[in-house]
Amino acid sequence: METTQATSFAKPYAGQKAVILGVANERSLAWAIAQELHRGGAELAFTFLGDALERRVRPLAESVGATIIEPCNVSDDGQLNALFNKLKERWGVLHHVIHSVAFANREDLDGRFINTSRAGFMTAMDVSAYSLVACAKFAEPLMTEGGSLLTLSYYGAEKVVPNYNVMGVAKAALEACVRYLAWDMGPKKIRVNAISAGPVKTLAAAGIRDFRTMLATAEEKTPLKETIEQDDVGYLGGFLCGPGGKHITGTTMYVDSGAHIMS
Ligand code: 0WE
């Protein structure tokens, strides 16, 4: 069936600009969302942290036609300011921010949560939660046509997942930030949402103890009896940035094969 309507479904983000923070490699959830936005006609910019990741991100970004590929440490306001100044200079307007960034010290993702140091707690909160607020602050003046902020969360934000520890606390804060930012930015037609994804093998999961066991357990404990894939996050991200998400804001949506309904 060939209709004019079909075109808007095929390219829902035509004319829209999106910046993607948090692609590390082709397995990244941010990359799945980026590809979905690219397929839907969006123009993309990417950020990286350090030389090693730049070598990974640059070819991926170029493969989807991106020409804005900038360094950005989200815990540095100077670098965020430089990034959004660059976007203003190159695009003048911005529609979507994909925030797929988190960090806790390795030693804080193992053993007892009680042992989290003050500095480790601050690091996790700064990089994994506050950075969304900082991005919102710098992005807002550019988002003059409305749009959306999208971040990534995990079930450990609401229930105890052994070893997730300080990241669980940071994701709980992140989900609260999503709600408060949604209230602040709503009048400007900027929506703010989180995707709570089931466990996936990405760089962020590499080196997490017993991650393979977690995946196996997730598979048998979920209603759908299978773990999710990167593309599943891409599709939901695309939906939330597109017409389907038009009146969805302040929410955390699950892509987890139903894991969150189980006791
Ligand atoms: O949010 C995450 C992990 C994010 C993350 C990963 C690392 C690994 C390397 C944050 N900081 C670091 N720091 C490092 O040094 N996930 C949802 C994946 C994850 O991590 C876990 C999980 C799951 C699931 C840690 C313990 C238990 C479960």
- The residue ranges of every structural domain in the chain are 2-255
Pick the CATH number of 2-255 from 3.40.190.10, 3.40.630.30, 3.40.50.720, 3.40.1710.10: 3.40.50.720
For every residue of 21-34, DSSP letters joined together read E---STT-HHHHHH
Closest approach atom of ligand 1 to CA 199: 24
Distance (Å, rounded) from C-alpha 244 to C-alpha 100? 21
155 lines ligand 1 (CB under 6 A): no
The set of residues, in sequence order, having a beta carbon less than 8 Å from that of 47 and lying 6+ positions away, is: 19, 20, 21, 22, 57, 69, 70, 71, 72, 83
What is the per-residue pLDDT across 102-130, written as a single tens digit (0 to 9) for each? 999 999 999 999 999 999 999 999 999 99
**Does residue 202 contact residue 23 with C-beta atoms inside 8 Å?**
no
pLDDT over 80 (residue 4)? no
What percent of the chain has pLDDT above 70? 97
Among 74, 121, 164, 215, the mutation site with the greatest number of ligand 1 atoms within 8 A of its Cβ is 164
**Does residue 256 contact residue 228 with C-beta atoms inside 8 Å?**
yes
Closest approach atom of ligand 1 to CA 152: 1
Q: What is the whole-number distance in angstroms between the Cα of residue 67 and the centre of ligand 1?
A: 30
Catalytic positions: 154, 164
Predicted local distance difference test score (pLDDT) of residue 207 = 83
Mean pLDDT score of the chain, rounded to an integer?
A: 96
